[in-house]
Structure 1
Amino acid sequence: MKKNTRGRGAGDRKLPRIGITGSFGRGNYGDELYIKNYQYWFSPWAKLFFLAGLPKHSYLRSFKNQFVDMMDAVVLGGGDLLCPYREKIDGDFINQAYLRRPVYVSGIGVERNRPDVLDSVVKRWSKFLSHPNIRSVSNRDPGSAAWIKENMALRVPVRHHPDMVLALPLPKALRPQGKPVVGLVTRHIKSGKEYRILERAAKHLSQKGWRVRHIIGGVGAHGLKDYENAKLLDFSDKELVYTENLDDISRAIGECSLMLSMKLHTTIVSTMYGVPTISVNPVVKARAFMDSINCGHLTVPSSTDELMDILAGGIPDSPEEEVKKVKIEASEYMKDLCQLIWSDFLKYNPRLTNTLPRELITPEQRDFF
């Protein structure tokens, strides 16, 4: 790791500066929850800065480098950042400027929905992740970690843990009085045919006295795109939740008594609230999470009648104990990441204590420190 040569009296500062980066600020509900998770775990003892969207033009390189040089640490991830079969790699993912500081790659996933792998993509990621300033690498599922170990030789151990959003406290949500609510979360698709099964499920439950709530899992441009696309789900008697407030999205999920979800993080958040959840988009990352809470049988495609078969058998139970276990594991990872960043910061600030001062940690976090 490069030594701190900034010469700005960094040793006089008591709080590290952490730059967070990844697929952030683009409006996807799950990715924006990563930001809230970092705020929760880092803000009591560090100053946070947003690094995603650094200028790409070569003539602005000095501005970019100077901004990165202000950081004591860069945290990259999570989300499906590594796609082995897509030639283009987002500049917010493997930006060489990050490597000017200690980098902690956290909770990233490897897209494994297709078997093909481009050597050029593996080489570029391998070069980035093998840099001496990469301090740690972790993945949000065992399959992603195994893929990296198989395809790359890194300087640091590769760890896996449950999705970091599981370590985020959620706003309180109460089930409404009266009719139970079934939540539907869709993803952007080209054809409404993938929504036919959700329409059938909505009709089936509505006839049994349920309210139908269609929740848009995004904000900003991403949310608008999902909102426009949601019109392809044709069920006239549905209520629509479309908001720019992430906590309002979370509460809308937590108020449901059943969730039918096509997105990973609405699935994760739903289970965190104790809502029985069926994943209607069996991509690898969704299966990995549902398997981790012993709910692999509740991951179904939109092209078959499996969803209707499940509903015909009754509303599934919520795996609250299994979810509790993965929440603890995710929180333990966040604790370890906090301590690692703090310990590295001490190398340039030796007068500070070698453990995070308890007064800088929230009461909810103290069980993990």
Structure 2
Amino acid sequence: MIFRRDRQTKFANDAIQRELETELRGLLKPRIGITGSFGRGNYGDELFVRVYEHWLGQWADLTLLTALHRPWYFRDIRTTQADLMDAVVLGGGDLLCPYREWIDPDFINPMYLRRPVHVAGIGVENDRVEIDSSVVERWTDFLTHPSVRSISTRDVGSAEWITEQINPHVRVTSHADLVCALPLPPVDRREDTPILGIVTRYARDPKDYRQLEEIAAAFISKGWHVRHIIGGVEDHGRRDLRNAEQLRVEGKETFHSNQIDDVTRALGECSLLLSMKLHTTIVATMYGVPTVSIHPVPKTRAFMASIGREELVVEPTDPRLFTILEEGVPDVSMDKVDELRAQAVAYLKELSQRIWDDYRNASAARQHVLPATVAWVDGDES
């Protein structure tokens, strides 16, 4: 394009340039760095990446920032990578563990604080009453930094703990676990043979599996198929797979896949699930699969309470488990499921709008709503 120097043409050229800049701004997308306990292979943690891909990836370019601190001798280029982001979203899983001195650098990396940070749907692992003061101090330094624009948690207990122990300058909110907002792949349930799904976590003592073996054998004798589902991929999955040999049930299927969606479908195909992991419990529930949680820690108790099923949380060795199964596990209340999904979706839309507004304010100095092209493809919302 040739720009002439006379005044009349200058006005015309300026108008063209402004029009081109406007069009260019319309084509550009915010760049969001996502980080948390990702890339380790735990099924539940990896689902959060799926959530962000679906809800943020429709209108933004996503970059995975986990392992940004490694290796240390590439610190300069890593810092540049963080500086390219328009926002950082940190979230998913039990990121804050009050009694464990070691904190993963992916959780409180000071590089993130060079950009606006949104802490999204994290949990506080309050399985013990102990609190390490150094942990609180380091998390306080991070969460009270001016760059932290918002903090939300997946349950009320986590929000209360952060508010009381850390007292950040932004309000701490809570909502349903963000995995509740994840669109699930369709499944076909077998009409001829019901499936009892069992999800275990690494157990050092095989005695934790003895009662489960009896239960599985009893279901097989009634014509059920037993599917032992490995709730992890790659190294995490291989570790759980080796440990799964400790659950000795003749005729059981051991389901293991490195594809996240395959694990999700394996859960959705079940008629009943016994689960030691939170997010396999959540996914099965969102499918409407009646589920008993056999790992009674606060986070699973909180989720089961949210669907009105507190009584379905027991130890795998508790004799009451037999009684619960004999009496029949109640159907999932899909009204409760819809409420959880609506909570998680509402938060993700709010987060999206906030990041979008900040981006447009920074780049164009004016307020915008999300473009009409964002259709929120989640099956029910529009």
Q: Please say if residues 69 and 106 of structure 2, whose CA atoms lie closer than 8 Å, have aligned partners that are also in contact.
A: no
Please say if 1:121 is aligned against 2:170. no
Q: Distance in 2 between matches of 1:309 and 1:197?
A: 12
Equivalent residue, structure 2, for 1:221: 235
Contact 2:183–2:379 (8 Å) recurs in 1: no
Corresponding residue for 2:66? 52
Alignment partner, residue 220 of structure 2:
206
- For residue 347 of structure 1, the aligned residue among 358, 361, 370 is 361
The answer to whether structure 1 residue 144 and structure 2 residue 158 are counterparts is yes
| C-alpha separation in 2, matches of 1:360 and 1:53 | 30
Q: CA deviation at 1:363?
A: 4.0
Amino acid at match of 2:57: S
Q: Which residue of 1 aligns with 2:83?
A: 69
Distance 2:182 2:72 in 1: 37
2-structure distance, mates of 1:29, 1:188: 14
Unaligned runs of 5+ in 1: 1-8
Q: Is 1:231–2:245 an aligned residue pair?
A: yes
Deviation at 1:366, TM superposition (A): 8.2
The one-letter code sitting in structure 2 at the alignment partner of 1:202 is A
CA distance in 1: counterparts of 2:56 and 2:360, whole angstroms:
16
1:354 positional shift: 1.1
Offset, 1:350: 2.1
Q: Once the two structures are superposed, what CA deviation does each residue of 1:197-245 show, in whole Å capped at 9, x if it has no partner? A: 2112111211211110011111010000010010010101101111111
Computing the radius of gyration from Cα coordinates, the structure with the larger value is 2
Query: In the aligned structure 2, how far is the partner of 1:322 from the partner of 1:255?
Result: 20
1:193 to 207, 215, 219: 207
**Distance change (3 Å), C-alpha of 1:353 and 1:279:** same
Work out the CA distance in 1 between the residues paired with 2:353 and 2:113. Answer: 20
3-state DSSP of counterpart to 1:359: coil
Give the structure 2 partner of residue 279 of structure 1: 293
**2:108 is matched with which residue: 69, 94, 100?**
94
CA distance in 1, matches of 2:30, 2:328: 51
Partner Cα distance (2:132, 2:329) in 1 = 43
C-alpha displacement of 1:360:
2.7
Q: Counterpart amino acid of 2:212? A: L
* Partner residue, 2:328: 314
Query: For 1:349, what is the secondary structure of its paired residue?
Result: helix
Alpha carbons 1:69, 1:100 under 8 Å: kept: yes
CA drift of 1:174 comes to 1.4
For the 8 Å contact 2:290–2:332, the answer to whether it is kept is: yes
Structure 2 partner of 1:298: 312
- Cα distance in 2, alignment partners of residues 272 and 238 from structure 1: 25
More relative contact order in 1 or in 2 (CA 8 Å, sep 6+)? 1
Partner of 1:82: 96
* CA distances 1:301-321 after superposition (whole Å, capped 9, x unpaired): 122111101011123222221
Q: SS of 2:173's equivalent? A: strand
- Matched-pair identity in %: 50
What's the counterpart of residue 181 of structure 2? Answer: 167
The whole-number CA distance in structure 2 between the counterparts of 1:284 and 1:346 is: 40
2:50 aligned partner: 36
Give the deviation of 1:24 after TM superposition: 0.2
Task: Provide the TM-score with structure 1 as the length reference.
Answer: 0.94
Quote how far apart the aligned CAs of 1:365 are.
7.2
Structure-2 separation of matches of 1:280 and 1:293:
16
Q: 1:319-359, CA deviations, whole angstroms, 9 ceiling, x for partnerless residues?
A: 22111111111111111111111111112122776111121
Q: Of 313, 320, 330, which residue of structure 1 is paired with 2:344?
A: 330
Question: 142-151 or 54-63, which moves further after superposition?
Answer: 54-63
2:3 alignment counterpart: none
Q: Distance in 2 between matches of 1:24 and 1:59?
A: 22
Secondary structure of 2:203 counterpart: coil
For 2:380 and 2:312, how far apart are their aligned partners in 1?
34
Q: Deviations over 1:243-277 (max 9, x none)?
A: 11111111111111000000000000000000000
CA distance in 2 between partners of 1:57 and 1:31 (Å): 23
In structure 2, give the amino acid aligned to 1:129. L
Give per-residue Cα distances to partners, 1:274-301, cap 9 Å, x unaligned: 0000000001100010001101100111
TM-aligned CA deviation for residue 34 of structure 1: 0.2
1:352 and 1:234 map into 2 onto residues whose CA distance is 63
Partner Cα distance (2:239, 2:127) in 1? 23
1:55 Cα deviation after fit: 3.2
Q: CA 1:270–1:366 in structure 2 vs 1: closer, same or farther (change >3 Å)?
A: closer
The amino acid that maps onto 2:250 is: S
Find the aligned partners of 1:286 and 1:365 in 2 and give their Cα distance.
27
Matched, 1:357 2:371: yes
**Separation in 2 of the partners of 1:292 and 1:93?**
27
Asked if residue 107 in structure 1 is aligned to residue 142 in structure 2, the reply is no
Stretches of structure 2 lacking an aligned partner (at least 5 in a row): 1-20
Q: Does the CA contact (< 8 Å) of 2:153 and 2:174 recur in 1?
A: yes
Q: How many residues align?
A: 360
Residue aligning to 1:4 = none
Query: What amino acid is aligned across from residue 174 of structure 2 in structure 1?
Result: H
CA distance in 1, matches of 2:322, 2:192: 24
Paired AA for residue 358 in structure 2: D
Q: Where does residue 191 of structure 2 map in the other structure?
A: 177
Which residue does the alignment assign to 1:256? Answer: 270
Length-normalised TM-score, structure 2: 0.91
Q: What is the CA–CA distance in structure 2 between the aligned matches of 1:307 and 1:147, rounded to whole Å?
A: 31
Moved more, 218-227 or 342-351: 342-351
Per-residue CA deviations over 1:70-104 (Å, capped at 9, x if unaligned) read: 10010001110000000000010000000000000
Q: The residue matched to 2:243 in structure 1 has which SS?
A: helix
